[in-house]
Amino acid sequence: MKILSIAVPCFNSAAYMRKCIDSLLVGKEDVEILIVNDGSNKDNTAQIADEYEKKYPTVCKAIHKENGGHGDAVMFGLRAATGEFFKVVDSDDYLDEKSFLEVLNKLKEFIRNKENIDMLLCNFVYDKVGAKKKKVMTYKRNLPVNKKFEWEDIKPFHTGQYILMHSVIYRRQLLIENGLDLPKHTFYVDNIFVYQPLKAVRDIYYMDVNLYRYYIGREDQSVNEQIMIGRIDQQIRVTKIMLNSFDPYNVANKKLRKYLISYLEIMMVISSILAIRSKSEENMQKKKELWDYLKDCHPRLYRRIRYGVLGQTMNLPGKVGRGIAVAGYKLANKLYGFN
């Protein structure tokens, strides 16, 4: 039995996918690497995927499909996966080999002891181009280290700090049982991937290791600010899907409920600040429509987010108000370096 299935969505990824896959091969027979070629048409991504499958037939599997976007590639990987646990590693990112082996050993221990773990968390590193000091996103002040725990045991997350796809490994069956479904041809669905299953997570484990190296800084990257502004419709679509996934007020555990609401608050802020940064009246109208959508569909959630500090900041009137929102965004970006 495979311990961990890793989906690697690839779209015209020939320039960097080898580094990613090579970092995963240290897991040897404990892992299956699902290289999902998402209709690449500008390079030899497909041939590289086949090459790895031929060279490592018991570890690597090449999956070729028509282009459907990042989320669709993740879903193809999940449907093909057989491991007890499941993780996504984007083709321009990679894993720290020492940390990866530590994580695999821990996952094997869970299975050996028949101990249920729904979600394992690790730190990730913003591996930003040109940055001398790499920002590490760690959870050691929020979560118990090297012990099984539940939501009741967590400490509050501060603004801007939340669980991302880079930090999470899910029990595969939990994703299937909860009907995870990511939309086609849509960017930023990694937020849905993390958020939607959280309501079903009970048993959690956190390892204070810097496992995931999140490569950012390429001009053509989806998290480049100008590209995000150009794709604001997709950001808003993802936010609406998350808002409609389930009502966080129906979640019994107060700490989990608070975290879920905070996550939705961040999503509203991201869409809002992109509209403000675009300096486009059309996008500002989209921002207004998104807040109106939240108000109409989820009045209680709207009151909580709209009249919180971040919600008020995103909706300050006039040029001065927008300037204050942008200043806060720039400060957060300086602290975390997220794009």
User: What are residue 205's DSSP bridge partners?
Assistant: 120, 148
Share of the chain above pLDDT 70, in %: 91
Element (H, E) at 128: strand 119-128
- Homologous superfamily assigned to 4-216: Spore Coat Polysaccharide Biosynthesis Protein SpsA; Chain A (3.90.550.10)
Give residue for tokens 């009246």.
281
Location of structure tokens 């459907």: 68
Question: In the beta sheet, which residues pair with residue 121?
Answer: 168, 206
Q: Lowest-confidence range among 13-22, 58-67, 275-284?
A: 275-284
Task: Give the model's confidence band at 336: pLDDT under 50 very low, under 70 low, under 90 confident, else very high.
Answer: very low
What are the pLDDT digits (tens) for 31-46?
A: 999 999 999 999 999 9
The one-letter amino acid code at 146 reads N
Please report, for the chain, the start and end positions of each structural domain, with discontinuous segments joined by +: 4-216, 225-336
Lowest mean pLDDT among 17-21, 133-137, 251-255: 133-137
Q: Is the pLDDT of residue 244 over 70?
A: yes
Q: Give the phi and the psi of residue 126 in degrees, each rounded to 5.
A: -75, 95
Please give the average per-residue pLDDT across 191-206, as a whole number.
Answer: 97
Total-model pTM: 0.93
Q: Kindly tell me the burial class for residue 318, based on how many C-beta atoms sit within 10 Å of its own C-beta (0-12, 13-18, 19 or more).
A: exposed
- 44: helix, coil or strand? coil
Would you say residue 172 has pLDDT above 60?
yes
9 confidence band (pLDDT: 50, 70, 90): very high
- Torsional sign, CA 168, 171, 174, 180: positive
Three-state secondary structure call for residue 275: helix
pLDDT in tens, 292-325: 999 999 999 999 999 988 888 888 777 766 767 6
Report, as an integer, the average pLDDT of 17-43. Answer: 97
Residues in the chain: 339
Say if CB 239 and CB 263 are below 8 A apart. no
Phi, psi angle pair for 141, to nearest 5°? -90, -5
Question: What confidence tier does 238 reach under pLDDT thresholds 50, 70, 90?
Answer: very high
